[in-house]
């Protein structure tokens, strides 16, 4: 199976219809900072070990920040046995540029994904 691309507006329509599973392959600190509502976090760094059996009969859409990680790993995503698979062209950046909503956490953004120690800051 070849992974295809989908634009943000088409993805939003399909999410509203409820016939896809959206998978965020960014790392946990990126997802905590900002994510698309309903996206399932499966970091690329742990993707191989993930079992998608419960949602394998659905159409999957993978997304990252700007599309680079999903484009580069399309073959890996396609190998997970979904009925059909897409990647969000332009990632969450394109989603926001299309005026679509995200869930954000300003406190996570200030941490920058780094562990802070009280005695250093």
What are the sequence ranges of the domains in the chain? 4-111
Cα 99 from Cα 27, distance rounded (Å): 23
What band does 109 get if pLDDT is binned at 50, 70 and 90?
A: low
For domain 4-111, give the fold. Answer: Oxidized Rhodanese; domain 1 (3.40.250)
Query: What is the per-residue pLDDT for 78?
Result: 82
Cα 35 from Cα 65, distance rounded (Å): 10
Q: Bin 6: left if φ > 0, else alpha if -120 < ψ < 50, else beta.
A: beta
Asked whether the whole model's pTM tops 0.85, one would answer no
Cα 92 from Cα 95, distance rounded (Å): 5
- Tell me, rounded to whole angstroms, the distance of Cα 29 from its chain centroid: 13
Query: What is the per-residue pLDDT for 35?
Result: 96
Share of the chain above pLDDT 70, in %: 88
In the beta sheet, which residues pair with residue 107? Answer: none
């Amino acid at each position: 199976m070849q992974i295809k691309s989908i634009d943000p507006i088409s993805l939003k329509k399909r999410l509203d219809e409820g016939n896809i599973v959206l998978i965020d392959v960014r790392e946990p600190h990126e997802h905590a900072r900002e994510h698309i509502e309903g996206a399932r976090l499966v970091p690329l760094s742990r993707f191989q070990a993930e079992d998608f059996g419960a949602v394998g009969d659905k159409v999957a859409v993978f997304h990252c920040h700007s599309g680079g990680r999903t484009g580069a790993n399309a073959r890996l995503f396609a190998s997970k046995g979904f009925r059909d698979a897409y990647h969000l062209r332009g990632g969450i950046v394109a989603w926001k540029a299309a005026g679509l909503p995200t869930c954000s956490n300003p406190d996570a953004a200030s941490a920058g994904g780094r562990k802070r120690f009280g005695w250093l800051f």
